[in-house]
C-alpha cells in the first residue's frame, strides 16, 4: 500500500475514534448533573446492574470529561493537519494522545491507566511519524502547502 493511502486509512480510524470520544466526553461534561438528577428521581430507568457503574461514573469530576473532550478535539485538529501532510498535525496529535494518557492519572489514579492504551498510542504515533517522514512532512519548510502539492505535481509530469 502506498504511504499516502496508509496515512489516510489510519487517519480515518483516528477520526472515528477521536470524534466519538470527543462527542461522548463533551456530552458527559455538559449533561452529567442532569443525568444524575434524572436517575436520582427515576431509578427504575437505570437497570439494577448499572447502579454501581453509574455511581462510579458520577463520582468522576466534570472537569475530567471536559479536559478529555478538549484533548480529543485537538487530536481531530492534528488529524486534519496530517491529512494535509503537515508536521504540526503530528505534533498536535502526539501531544494530545500523550496528555490523554496522563489525564486518568491526574483525576482517577494509576489503576485507570491501561497498558493497551499506551501501546495503541505508541503504535499510532510511531506509524504516523514513519509515514509522514517518508512523505517529507518533516523536511518541508514550515508547513507550506505549495511544497507538498508541488511535489505531487512534479512527479505526475
- List Cα–Cα distances, 124 to 7, 9, 10, 150, 151, in angstroms: 10, 12, 8, 27, 25
What CA–CA distance (Å, rounded) separates 140 from 85? Answer: 10
- Per the model's pLDDT, the better-predicted residue between 154 and 54 turns out to be 54
- pLDDT for position 146: 47
Instruction: Confirm if 90 and 129 have CB atoms less than 8 A apart.
Output: yes
Q: Is the pLDDT of residue 117 over 80?
A: yes
Distance, CA of 142 to CA of 144 (rounded, Å): 6
Output the pLDDT for position 155: 47
Question: What does the pLDDT look like over 22-73, one tens digit per residue?
Answer: 999 999 999 888 877 877 777 777 777 777 777 888 888 999 999 999 999 9
Q: What would the pLDDT profile of 118-139 be if each residue is shown by its tens digit? A: 999 999 999 999 999 999 888 8
Q: Give the E-state strand segments of the chain in sequence order.
A: none
Amino acid at each position: 500500500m502506498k504511504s499516502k493511502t496508509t496515512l489516510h486509512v489510519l487517519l480515518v480510524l483516528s477520526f472515528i475514534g477521536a470524534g466519538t470520544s470527543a462527542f461522548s466526553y463533551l456530552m458527559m461534561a455538559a449533561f452529567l448533573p442532569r443525568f444524575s438528577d434524572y436517575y436520582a428521581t427515576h431509578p427504575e430507568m437505570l437497570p439494577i446492574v448499572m447502579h454501581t457503574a453509574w455511581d462510579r461514573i458520577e463520582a468522576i469530576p466534570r472537569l475530567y470529561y471536559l479536559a478529555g473532550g478538549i484533548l480529543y478535539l485537538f487530536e481531530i485538529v492534528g488529524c486534519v493537519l496530517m491529512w494535509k501532510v503537515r508536521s504540526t498535525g503530528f505534533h498536535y496529535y502526539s501531544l494530545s494522545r500523550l496528555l490523554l494518557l496522563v489525564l486518568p492519572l491526574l483525576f482517577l489514579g494509576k489503576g485507570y491507566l491501561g497498558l493497551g492504551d499506551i501501546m495503541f498510542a505508541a503504535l499510532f504515533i510511531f506509524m504516523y511519524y514513519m509515514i509522514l517522514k517518508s512523505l517529507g512532512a518533516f523536511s518541508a519548510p514550515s508547513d507550506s502547502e505549495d511544497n507538498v502539492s508541488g511535489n505531487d505535481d512534479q512527479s505526475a509530469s
